[in-house]
């Protein structure tokens, strides 16, 4: 199960934080900082998985952004690694070449994309076409 | 330019940019306040106001104004406003926020809406907040959305995961009903998104109760079979880089791991074969996504094969091992990492173990060349898992070699693993001793106490290696650089077995002593204490160097040392040595060689378990081959002489702990801390079980009304008790009787600890030995300081015929024991009764009784220390009693007991100035009056 999703830039600014467990605000801040410290020092030759407290972080870097999923230790690493990529492709399609600023200015839309893709810490929908279609339906209502 | 600016929200873009550009927190707050002021005064659309508020939070400032606004947005019928309202709730709502109550009705309305988009918004919100309050409010509403025929797929998907989140938040609130049977049918749904979501829900439900959902197995195998046999064109939307539905496949494979192998597993095995085959096919795309997706399914399939682990999947296990072996040289670091991880699992299956061992060279290579420490860590794990008698020597050697260069973060774990492997698979224990000493040399700082304690246990228990160990330690101590842990092991071993090498001129007694003496001043005080113990042992082993040793013990440096432990040892050992001049036999008895340690689980293993529960399991479940092999060795170590305390050998673990720290009463004989070490043979007591024995308290009831009787009795030991009480003080006499006809109970210890509200002090200690057929007394005093509800505990330990005796017995010291008589007339009674009217001062119970008997009830009341007052209550059937409980202050207790003969019920009311006391007495009395 996904415990939380973090999107951070290289400087450690959080671009999205989605929590599937109850944490208080101080704890969230601590997690954000620890995850940032953990993933930024790793180079491209390293694995995309890193042990973290009692969990593990599965992460992937796209340009200056780190997409991190915190999952249970016995979860399937590659499944979640590709879930990140699938999610990024959806964002890319939806925002037409997504960039960091899109996430900043359209944070409320990003949350909708997350909820269509992941829910309750599980993968909800994997078909990019289905997600995009749903997002477009919703956009038309705006 | 960002897209937002285009859709008329330029103000927002400007605002966010401004906030981002703010240099300080103050500047940011100022900017936000300014924005709020403008927005509110201009009354632009609600949405804009809200989005701005939220943006403010986003940058770290919480604004309460947004909350109410958000609730209003929820009730809007416009999607945009509703969506923002829900977003706010989902992101900002914390546990226990009052806002929940405000929004429940809104969410309910949306859940029953005919617009699926609104229903989904509500479901997502419930799932995102996911608190217990949410479960209480909505758990019952959601199943119908999940299984209804009319609802569209989107809603079913969200409903399934929403159920899952609420189930995790409050499993006890899971609604019962028909839906539980129908939910597994969702695995058959034509929409793969629904199947994906439902499989997660079913996984969670089945995890708690596999039997109830076993029908899912058939559906899952069906679905899996259809996916893996399809081509990538078949599933269209659900094909990801030419791999059909990889995520769903993984989820189904994972779901199947919850259940025992299906009775008809041919179809499942077919699926697994197809997955293995497909993984071997040439890739349809060069993209990493293709290979990742394919391998995620492969690895999950291997997990399932490992889970099945039966004859039918034997070929698959071997095949899986070989396929993973190819990954060990893959250029993707991820794959090498995952292959090592999976192989470590396969190494534990009997069928694939041999196949895994073929990759030994590659794994060792990985340990040497991998750049990523986490990959090297996995290589260590795999080496540990694949180790057995045939390759132990090589693996241990490689681990030792790697240890010199290993990252500090994994050194301790590596030391533990190396120590465990070298012990478990040692055919030649000299080798084992060498390995441990080398561990200390290479990574002394990372060698924990458990490891060097263990080597001492092993040496003590195996006569055949004692001489070798003494020689090796002696040599190691002669090296110019020598770790302190080496000094500890060396000191102990020379003290015990130095005589075995004393024949050699190069290691004559005096040289051994001087060698330790050269190390003495460089060590910490715990090590020095240990060396002192070695010295006194040497006095016994080598009377010829007694004068030299006595000179050291007598020296001012030690006799006046500021470290109390050292000073005490020096003084006592010196005295002991002096006494022995006239009585050599005593010295020999006291300083006799330590007896073998009783067999039990290795403390090193226990330590590794604590660090890495999964890793330790590997070694705990030896393959059949290992079990068979270890038997003869077990016999060997059981060779004579077998002292009285030698316990049964277990074939699982040949060797034992010396200094495991038990948390029960007997003092551990750890050499580092306990001055008695080496003086007496207390080792067996030290190895008492580390789990405290269960508390024995069933006898307490009968002592509620009386003060003496038999507290405990088994075939060997009888304990009697006699208690006397006066006001706040009590004296408890305990009598220990040895009932057996032949065996004394030795190393006997009995101790009663204080509890909150009751101080216990020992008046007369229990004896150390309970000789046959006699009885000994042990007296403790008790004093109350406040009201208390628990019993003080008598901890007993000892050795009886080689068996450990360890007991925890509750002493029936009730608070009512400390009560004194209180006589009063009706007026006084009711005056006081009314004085104690606060609800928490009164405790009441209404209960059924077997018979209502006035005399018996009075008897019970008076024997628990209360004064029964006759003629006080207007109703003659009622009992009235009073008492004074003594602690630092006195606590008055008043009682009324009203019988109802026709229904044979009692109503018991207790009032007292201390609420806990009334509650307590009420509970105690009820159990006796029932």
Q: What is the pLDDT of residue B322?
A: 94
Residue entry with tokens 């209003």: B72
Backbone angles phi, psi at A2, to 5 degrees: -80, 130
Least Cα separation, residue B681 to chain A (angstroms)? 43
Least Cα separation, residue A92 to chain B (angstroms)? 14
ipTM reported for the complex surpasses 0.95: yes
- Alpha-carbon gap, residue B55 to B19, rounded angstroms: 9
**What CA–CA distances, in Å, run from B202 to A61, A124, B220, B254, B256?**
33, 14, 11, 11, 11
Question: Please, what CATH class does the domain formed by B53-303 belong to?
Answer: mainly alpha
CB nearest A122 (choices: B84, B164, B292): B164
Residue B8 CA from chain centroid, whole number: 57
- Chain A positions in Cβ-Cβ contact with residue B91 (cut-off 8 Å): 111
Q: What is the pLDDT of residue A121?
A: 95
Q: What is the pLDDT of residue B95?
A: 54
- Chain B positions in Cβ-Cβ contact with residue A76 (cut-off 8 Å): 250, 254, 296, 299-300
Tell me whether A83 touches chain B (CB under 8 Å). yes
Residue of A nearest to B95 (CA): A22
- Chain A positions in Cβ-Cβ contact with residue B239 (cut-off 8 Å): none
- Alpha-carbon gap, residue B378 to B341, rounded angstroms: 6
| β-bridge pairing A55-62 and B905-912 | unpaired
Q: What is the pLDDT of residue B61?
A: 43
Q: Do B84 and A108 touch (CB under 8 A)?
A: yes
Question: Are the C-beta atoms of residues B883 and B877 closer than 8 Å to each other?
Answer: no
CB nearest B296 (choices: A82, A106, A115): A82
- What is the CATH number assigned to the segment(s) B695-813? 2.60.40.1230
Question: Please, what CATH class does the domain formed by B816-929 belong to?
Answer: alpha beta
Residue ranges per domain, chain B? 53-303, 309-386, 695-813, 816-929
Q: What is the pLDDT of residue B399?
A: 92
Q: What is the pLDDT of residues B494-510, one digit of tens each?
A: 999 999 998 888 889 99
Least Cα separation, residue B266 to chain A (angstroms)? 25
- Chain A positions in Cβ-Cβ contact with residue B164 (cut-off 8 Å): 120, 122
- Written as six digits, the tokens of B554 are 């007598």
| A residues 38-57 closer than 8 Å to B (CB) | 45-51
Q: Do B333 and A141 touch (CB under 8 A)?
A: no
More confidently predicted of B759 and A129:
A129
Q: What is the pLDDT of residue B621?
A: 43
Q: What is the pLDDT of residue B344?
A: 95
Least Cα separation, residue A28 to chain B (angstroms)? 12
Name the CATH code of domain A2-141 (choices 3.30.450.60, 3.30.565.10, 2.170.190.11, 3.10.440.10).
Answer: 3.30.450.60
Residue B271 DSSP code: H
Least Cα separation, residue B450 to chain A (angstroms)? 25
Residue B185 DSSP code: G
Tell me whether A124 touches chain B (CB under 8 Å). yes
- Chain B positions in Cβ-Cβ contact with residue A50 (cut-off 8 Å): 374
Question: Are the C-beta atoms of residues B673 and B686 closer than 8 Å to each other?
Answer: no
Residue of A nearest to B62 (CA): A25
Q: What is the pLDDT of residue B663?
A: 36
DSSP E strands in B373-519: the ranges are none
Residue spans of chain B under pLDDT 50: 1-8, 40-44, 56, 59-65, 619-690
**What CA–CA distances, in Å, run from B540 to B590, B592, B852?**
9, 8, 74
B11 is in an annotated binding site: yes
Question: Are the C-beta atoms of residues A60 and A31 closer than 8 Å to each other?
Answer: no
Q: Do A122 and B161 touch (CB under 8 A)?
A: yes
- Rounded to the nearest 10 degrees, the angle between the axes of helix B373-386 and helix B350-357 is 120
- Alpha-carbon gap, residue B412 to B416, rounded angstroms: 6
Q: Do B161 and A138 touch (CB under 8 A)?
A: no
């Amino acid at each position: 199960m996904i415990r939380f999703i973090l999107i951070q830039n290289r400087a450690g600014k959080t671009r999205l934080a989605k929590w599937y467990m109850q944490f208080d605000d101080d704890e969230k801040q601590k997690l954000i900082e620890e995850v940032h410290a953990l993933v930024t020092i790793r180079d491209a030759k390293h694995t995309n998985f890193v042990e973290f407290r009692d969990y593990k972080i599965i992460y992937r870097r796209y340009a200056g952004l780190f997409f991190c999923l915190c999952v249970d230790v016995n979860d399937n690493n590659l499944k979640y690694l590709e879930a990140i990529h699938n999610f990024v492709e959806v964002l890319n399609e939806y925002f037409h070449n997504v960039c960091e600023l899109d996430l900043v200015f359209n944070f409320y839309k990003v949350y909708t994309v997350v909820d269509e893709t992941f829910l309750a810490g599980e993968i909800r929908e994997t078909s990019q076409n289905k997600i995009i279609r749903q997002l477009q339906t919703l956009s038309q209502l705006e | 330019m960002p897209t937002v600016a285009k859709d008329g929200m330029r103000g927002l873009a400007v605002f966010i940019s401004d906030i981002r550009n703010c240099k300080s927190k103050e500047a940011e707050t100022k900017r936000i306040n300014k924005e709020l002021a403008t927005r509110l005064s201009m009354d632009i659309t609600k949405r804009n106001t809200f989005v701005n508020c939220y943006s403010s939070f986003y940058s770290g400032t919480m604004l309460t104004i947004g909350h109410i606004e958000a609730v209003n947005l929820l009730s809007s019928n416009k999607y945009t406003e509703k969506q923002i309202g829900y977003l706010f709730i989902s992101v900002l709502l914390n546990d226990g926020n009052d806002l929940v109550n405000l929004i429940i009705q809104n969410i309910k309305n949306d859940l029953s809406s005919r617009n699926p988009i609104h229903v989904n918004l509500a479901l997502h919100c419930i799932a995102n907040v996911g608190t217990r309050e949410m479960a209480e409010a909505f758990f019952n509403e959601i199943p119908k959305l999940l299984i209804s025929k009319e609802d569209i797929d989107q809603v079913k998907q969200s409903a399934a995961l929403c159920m899952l989140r609420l189930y995790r938040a409050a499993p006890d609130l899971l609604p019962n009903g028909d839906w539980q049977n129908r939910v597994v049918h969702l695995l058959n749904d034509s929409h793969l998104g629904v199947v994906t979501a439902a499989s997660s829900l079913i996984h969670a439900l089945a995890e708690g109760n596999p039997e109830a959902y076993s029908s899912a197995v058939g559906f899952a195998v069906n679905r899996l079979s259809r996916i893996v046999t399809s081509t990538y064109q078949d599933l269209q939307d659900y094909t990801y880089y030419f791999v059909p539905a990889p995520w769903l496949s993984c989820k189904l494979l994972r779901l199947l791991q919850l259940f025992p192998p299906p009775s008809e597993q041919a179809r499942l095995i077919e699926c697994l074969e197809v997955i293995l085959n497909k993984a071997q096919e040439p890739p349809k795309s060069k993209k990493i996504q293709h290979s990742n997706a394919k391998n995620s399914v492969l690895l999950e399939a291997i997990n399932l094969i490992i889970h099945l682990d039966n004859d039918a999947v034997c070929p698959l296990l071997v095949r899986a091992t070989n396929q993973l072996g190819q990954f060990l040289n893959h250029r993707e670091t991820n794959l090498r990492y995952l292959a090592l991880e999976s192989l470590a699992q396969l190494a534990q299956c009997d069928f694939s173990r041999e196949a895994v061992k073929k990759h030994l060279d590659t794994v060792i290579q990985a340990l040497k060349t991998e750049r990523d420490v986490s990959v090297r860590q996995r290589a260590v794990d795999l080496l540990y898992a694949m180790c057995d008698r045939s390759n132990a020597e090589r693996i241990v050697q490689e681990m030792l070699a790697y240890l010199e260069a290993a990252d500090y973060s994994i050194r301790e774990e590596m030391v533990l693993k190396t120590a465990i492997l070298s012990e478990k698979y040692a055919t030649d224990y000299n080798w084992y001793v060498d390995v441990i000493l080398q561990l200390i040399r290479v990574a002394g700082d990372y060698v924990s106490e458990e490891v060097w304690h263990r080597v001492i246990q092993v040496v003590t228990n195996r006569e055949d290696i004692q001489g070798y160990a003494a020689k090796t330690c002696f040599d190691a101590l002669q090296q110019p650089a020598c770790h302190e842990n080496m000094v500890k092991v060396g000191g102990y071993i020379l003290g015990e077995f130095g005589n075995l090498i004393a024949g050699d001129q190069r290691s004559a007694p005096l040289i051994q002593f001087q060698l330790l003496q050269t190390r003495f001043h460089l060590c910490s005080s715990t090590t020095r204490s240990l060396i002192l113990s070695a010295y006194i042992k040497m006095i016994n082993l080598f009377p010829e160097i007694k004068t030299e040793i006595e000179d050291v013990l007598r020296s001012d440096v030690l006799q006046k040392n500021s470290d109390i432990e050292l000073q005490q040892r020096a003084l006592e050992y010196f005295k002991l040595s002096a006494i022995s001049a006239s009585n050599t036999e005593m010295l020999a008895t006291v300083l006799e060689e330590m007896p073998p340690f009783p067999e039990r689980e290795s403390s090193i293993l226990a330590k590794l378990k604590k660090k890495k529960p999964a890793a330790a399991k590997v070694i705990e479940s030896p393959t059949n081959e290992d079990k068979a092999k270890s038997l003869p060795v077990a016999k060997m170590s059981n060779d004579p002489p077998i002292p009285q305390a030698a316990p049964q050998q277990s074939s699982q673990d040949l060797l034992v702990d010396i200094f495991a720290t038990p948390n029960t009463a007997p003092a551990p004989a750890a050499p580092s801390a306990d001055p008695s070490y080496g003086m007496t043979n207390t080792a067996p007591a030290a190895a008492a079980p580390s789990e405290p024995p269960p508390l024995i308290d069933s006898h307490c009831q009968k002592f509620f009304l009386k003060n003496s009787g038999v507290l405990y009795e088994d075939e060997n030991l009888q304990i009697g008790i006699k208690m006397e009480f006066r006001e706040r003080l009590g004296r408890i006499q305990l009598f220990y009787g040895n009932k057996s006809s032949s065996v004394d109970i030795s190393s006997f210890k009995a101790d009663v600890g204080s509890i909150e509200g009751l101080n216990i002090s020992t008046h007369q200690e229990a004896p150390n030995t309970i000789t046959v057929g006699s009885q000994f007394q042990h007296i403790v005093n008790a004093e109350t300081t406040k009201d208390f509800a628990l019993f003080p505990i008598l901890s007993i330990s000892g050795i009886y015929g080689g068996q450990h005796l360890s007991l925890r017995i509750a002493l029936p010291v009730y608070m009512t024991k400390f009560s004194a008589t209180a006589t009063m007339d009706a007026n006084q009674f009711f005056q006081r009764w009314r004085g104690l009217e606060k609800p928490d001062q009164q405790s009441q119970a209404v209960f059924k009784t077997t018979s209502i008997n006035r005399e018996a009830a009075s008897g019970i009341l008076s024997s628990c220390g209360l004064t029964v007052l006759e003629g006080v209550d207007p109703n003659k059937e009622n009992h009235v009693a009073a008492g004074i409980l003594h602690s630092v202050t006195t606590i008055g207790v008043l009682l009324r007991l009203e019988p109802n003969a026709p229904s044979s019920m009692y109503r018991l009311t207790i009032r007292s100035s201390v609420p806990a006391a009334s509650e307590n007495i009420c509970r105690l009395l009820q159990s006796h009056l029932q």
